[in-house]
């Protein structure tokens, strides 16, 4: 697989200076310069072994190919589209038959406007996710979230559920 091979080469190219620098640092340590050859070799050998094990773990951990990444993005976008479709259905039902909030006409109109906006935002998010417009999903979700927050700030009971009558 060329993608993985090139990624590994790039990783090795990036890590090689650090490994060499670590080896030189170890080689210049007082323990390494000791007269006893076995002892001199044991210290850098243990440190080099740890460095190599670390590099080996980094090199062979799971690296996704572009195809695998695209497949995962598409799966997540599908889940986002499904959730947005369900949210749009809920928002449409709320707009059609708003809950009994005992609102005056002005506040009921505001509630309807926000419910309609929630529906519009959910349909927009569903469309973007369905088309795979990944770059636009975050911004679209932020607009949907802002719509939810504005409604909650205006119409939700701020008391915790446990203290409500």
C-beta separation of 97 from 40 below 8 A: no
The helix/strand/coil state of 157 is coil
The residue with tokens 């090139």 is 6
Task: Average the pLDDT over each of 1-10, 113-122, 135-144, 150-159 and give the range with the smallest value.
Answer: 1-10
Confidence of residue 1 (pLDDT cuts 50, 70, 90): very low
Mean pLDDT across the chain, nearest whole number?
A: 77
- Stretch 61-71: mean pLDDT, rounded? 83
Confidence of residue 104 (pLDDT cuts 50, 70, 90): confident
Angle at which helices 66-96 and 134-155 pack, to 10 degrees?
Answer: 30
Rounded to a whole number of angstroms, the distance between the first and last alpha carbons of the chain is 63
Task: Average the pLDDT over each of 32-41, 60-69, 80-89, 119-128 and give the range with the smallest value.
Answer: 32-41
Helix residue spans in 28-161 (DSSP H): 37-60, 66-96, 105-131, 134-155
Question: What's the maximum distance between 2 C-alpha atoms anywhere in the chain?
Answer: 93
- Stretch 68-76: mean pLDDT, rounded? 91
Q: What is the pLDDT of residues 3-62, one digit of tens each?
A: 444 454 555 555 555 555 555 455 555 555 545 555 555 556 777 788 888 877 777 776
If you count them, how many residues does the chain have?
165
Residue 76 has what pLDDT?
94
Residue 40 has what pLDDT?
55
**3-state class percentages of the chain: helix first, strand second, coil last, to nearest 5:** 80, 0, 20
């Amino acid at each position: 697989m060329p993608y993985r091979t090139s990624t590994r080469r790039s990783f090795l190219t990036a890590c090689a200076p650090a490994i060499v620098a670590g080896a030189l640092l170890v080689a210049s340590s007082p323990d390494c310069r000791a007269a006893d050859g076995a002892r001199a070799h044991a210290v850098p050998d243990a440190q080099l072994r740890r460095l190599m094990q670390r590099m080996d773990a980094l090199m062979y951990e799971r690296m996704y190919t572009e195809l695998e990444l695209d497949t995962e993005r598409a799966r997540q976008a599908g889940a986002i589209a499904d959730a947005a479709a369900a949210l749009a259905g809920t928002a449409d039902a709320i707009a059609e038959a708003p809950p009994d909030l005992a609102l005056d006409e002005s506040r009921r109109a505001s509630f309807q406007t926000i419910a309609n906006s929630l529906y519009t935002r959910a349909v927009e998010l569903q469309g973007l996710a369905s088309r795979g417009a990944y770059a636009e999903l975050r911004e679209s979700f932020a607009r949907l979230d802002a719509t939810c927050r504005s409604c909650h700030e205006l119409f939700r009971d701020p008391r915790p559920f446990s203290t409500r009558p």
